[in-house]
Amino acid sequence: MRLTEITYDKSKPVDGYGPGFFRIGGQVIEGPVTVLPSGVASWGGFDDVATLLAEADTIDVLFVGTGAEVAHAPKAFRQRLEDAGVGLDVMASPAACRTFNILLSEGRRVALALIPV
């Protein structure tokens, strides 16, 4: 079997997570977080759609992690992103992290908005 090292462009992969925090690109961030092409930052939750809309031209799919369990994203949140041309995929945060890392390693235009487990 041939193994190759994964390289990432601008965005950073999720290295780990735990109760109340995420480790992204080696940096620990407590609370909700976004991982966007422009960088990693704390996130204000579903009320903070402006942060995500600012990156609408640079992403095709936004993975939203809703914590330990899958929950619905608020209708207004979903609608504003879809109106801006951003696909939205809502799932539990651990699944969102894994899916994001896989697509990021393939060079896809993805972003991540996470609520801690």
Which position has the token pair 């972003």?
111
Mean pLDDT of all residues in 78-99 = 97
Does 9 fall in a domain? no
- pTM value is 0.90
* CATH code (residue 107): 3.40.1230.10
The pLDDT of residue 26 is above 70 = yes
* Interatomic CA distance for residues 64 and 73, integer angstroms: 8
Separation of alpha carbons 13 and 10, rounded Å? 10
Q: Which pLDDT does position 8 carry in this prediction?
A: 54
Residue 11's pLDDT is: 80
- Domain region containing 75: 14-115
d(Cα 69, Cα 54) in Å, to the nearest integer? 27
State the chain's mean pLDDT as an integer.
92
Looking at the 3D structure of the chain, how many domains does it have?
1
User: Residues 19-41: what's their mean pLDDT?
Assistant: 96
pLDDT at position 51 over 60: yes
Token pair recorded at residue 16: 């780990």
β pairing state of 61-66 and 87-91: parallel
